[in-house]
A and B are shown apart, each in its own frame.
Chain A
Amino acid sequence: MSWEEIVGALLLGWRMTLTLAGIAMVLAFLGGTVIAILRVSPIPIFRAIGTTYVELVRNTPLTVLFFFAVFLSPHLGIKATFFQAAVFALTAYNFCQFSEAVRSGLNAVPKGQSEASRALGMTTMQMLLSVIIPQAIRAMIPPLASGIVIVVKGSSVAGVFGVVELINSMNNLSGLYGEKVIQILVVVVLLFLAVNLPIGFFSNFMERRLKMVR
């Protein structure tokens, strides 16, 4: 293989990584919002369910979750491809991160806002939709960005569990073309930085704007 072909193979893996991360990110955000709602709910049992889930999954490594998804799903009768298992593990793991992001965003809104809304006679739903959530979004952005970076970095674990993505390609190619190992690694690192650095800078930028508002 020529160098161009090697880079081409890496880029194919990269596309898979981004696809995996993209799907997991969206699902994790949706699920995380659900869990955040559970955790702030006035009904104690919902809070308990949400908190239990978060505490259990937060203390488990991502690799263990991948093991569950890949090796235990046949035992539960669930037939899933490697890719589906990877999406499941990545999503389930990041529910916690995104739920914390949503929750901290909601909590960052000054209490006076909700008090004023109630004084004006708004229902809880009206208060949430018109007052709280729009203000919460700005505060949510740094931890959400952080969550996105975590999802992208976590997708690299999928390479070990049968998903042909960037890390997987990197290993195979390094095995075949040992003398080019360092160049391959440089390309891989650059690809990850190309995605994660802009997200980081954007997050810092939004954080500074948030501080100015306060």
Chain B
Amino acid sequence: MSAESWLMDAPGPKARRRTRIGTGIGVVLLLGFVWYAYQALEARGQLNPKIWSVWLMPEVQRIVLEGLKATLSAAGMAVLLSVILGGVLTAMRMSKYRALQWIAIGWTNFFRGVPTLVCIFAIYLSFPSLGIEISVYWALVLGELLYAGALFAEIFRAGIDAVPKGQKEAATALGISSAQIFIQVVMPQAFRWMLPLLINQVVMTLKETSLGFVIGYGELLREGRRVVEYLGAGYATPMYVMVGLTYITINVLLSVIARYVERRTRSRGTTTKVMKGHKTPAEISVPVDV
């Protein structure tokens, strides 16, 4: 990856020398940090192979896998439902009835201001007092989808807006009906544009399922903690590192899959160039907050 082009000119001899010195300093600092971390961990017995062997224990692996399945199941359901909700909210936003528009806008602003944890607790604590029984799974999923639905709606809206108006105008001039325009002209282009943002949101939702451990849902983090509680606090480091690495791996995998799909679905020929008037996702600030 190269540095941003606005910052540097082509490097001359002085710049090259500075770069080399900087690289030397950077390497020294990095190695120093690694050395220091190694010393600190070693001194406290954190690098003892006995505790790290817990990664190989079949029971531990089974429990962690159960937790992973629970996480993926909750995340999958949350993503599915929030995509649907996002679609509904986008439709409301684009409808000609002011009331529906306002509801959609109000929903988005409201749930972006409230932490997801509060939503989850709100559902989990209030439903019983309203007489509705709710499982931790559904409290988690519903809590997540209130906010995620709003985010997906924002992404959909930005994606649809990003398609150059000329496309719709040309399609109308060709006599294609409104519905057909939407399905065959707008959506494919919007989808390709939106894909990185959509995957980003899926990753966010996946990370948020870890909040489930607070209300007792047996997801990945909670199962990791159960193992630590059962085996003893000495095993905390390897277990939580395992949990962290699992999350990182899954999320990075999702991003890699997304990039692969994006490359495969990109059409060949001149349309791979960004069309005139077509903004890239980076230029439109769709808020991608957690």
Chain B binding surface, main DSSP class: helix
Give complex CA distance A149, B290 in Å: 9
A-contacting residues, B228-277, CB 8 Å: 228, 233, 236-237, 240, 243-244, 247-248, 251-252
Q: Are A63 and B213 closer than 8 Å at their CB atoms?
A: yes
Q: Are B129 and A182 closer than 8 Å at their CB atoms?
A: yes
Q: How many A-B residue pairs have CB under 8 A?
A: 177
Give complex CA distance A106, B19 in Å: 22
Give complex CA distance A167, B9 in Å: 51
B-contacting residues, A154-185, CB 8 Å: 154, 156-157, 159-160, 167, 170-171, 174, 178-179, 181-182, 185
**Given A72-B237, A76-B44, A196-B114: A61 and B208 within 8 A (CB)?**
yes
Q: Are A185 and B221 closer than 8 Å at their CB atoms?
A: no
A34 interfacial by beta-carbon distance below 8 Å? no
Give complex CA distance A15, B41 in Å: 36
Q: Are A45 and B23 closer than 8 Å at their CB atoms?
A: yes
A-contacting residues, B201-226, CB 8 Å: 203, 207-208, 210-211, 213-214, 221, 225
Give complex CA distance A129, B221 in Å: 45
B contact residues around A153 at 8 Å (CB): 114-117, 289-290
Residue total for B at the interface (Cβ-Cβ under 8 A) = 62
Give complex CA distance A47, B8 in Å: 14
B61 interfacial by beta-carbon distance below 8 Å? no
Q: Which residues in A have some Cβ–Cβ distance to B below 8 Å?
A: 40-47, 49, 51, 55-56, 58-64, 67-68, 71-72, 75-77, 97, 104, 106-107, 109, 111, 113-115, 118, 124, 132, 142-143, 146-147, 149-150, 152-154, 156-157, 159-160, 167, 170-171, 174, 178-179, 181-182, 185, 188-189, 192-193, 195-197, 200, 207
